[in-house]
Amino acid sequence: MGRSQLEKQKTHEKIVETASKRLREEGLEGIGVADLMKEAGLTVGGFYKHFASRDDLVAEAIQAASDSWGHKLEAEGIDPAKMTAADVADRYLSAYHRDNPGEGCPFAALTSDISRSGDKARGIATQRLQRNFEALASKASGADAERRRKAVIAFAMMAGGVGLARISSDEALSAEILETVRDFVAAIDK
């Protein structure tokens, strides 16, 4: 790859990374292309050298956000496949995840936004949901159908639990939501 192509790729990745974080913090409609490009240190005119549309950027940002958890674990020397359901619950249903939406799961931050987004973004989100269900099912006990059922319920509870914990202005209630869901998810392997 030539230098200019490599630079273009790095710039593209910087835009996606910036969008991934900011969209989880502000919502899909909370920040515009001009602000994202400015934050990435670029001009708005350069946007269309990288993306055909804002929807294309949103789709890539959702993909990057949903991949970030695994990358972060691997950078810490943790193999996500070897984590137990309790390990997953402890990390996902944490005060840190609740308090840092820009670094967390896009489903906990953007579920309603993604449901109203374009086909490409919803398609990527659907693929990532399937992947998350499969990963959680591998940690659950029971026959295949029961493991899948537990995984869908557990993931829905985790994403919803973090979202509800973020809503609460009562710290004790917020912590109770996280703890209650964490205990439930940790038990899917029994």
pLDDT digits (tens, 9 = 90+) for 110-143: 999 999 999 999 999 999 999 999 999 999 999 9
CB 4 within 8 Å of CB 49: no
Closest among 175, 48, 59 to 121, alpha carbons compared? 59
Structural domains of the chain, with CATH = 53-187 (1.10.357.10)
Q: Which residue has the higher pLDDT, 151 or 6?
A: 151
Q: Assign 5 a pLDDT band (cuts: 50, 70, 90).
A: confident
3-state secondary structure of 108: helix
Q: Please give the single-letter amino acid code of residue 76.
A: E
State pLDDT tens for residues 141-190: 999 999 999 999 999 999 999 999 999 999 999 999 999 999 999 999 99
Taking residues 77-90, report their average pLDDT. Answer: 96
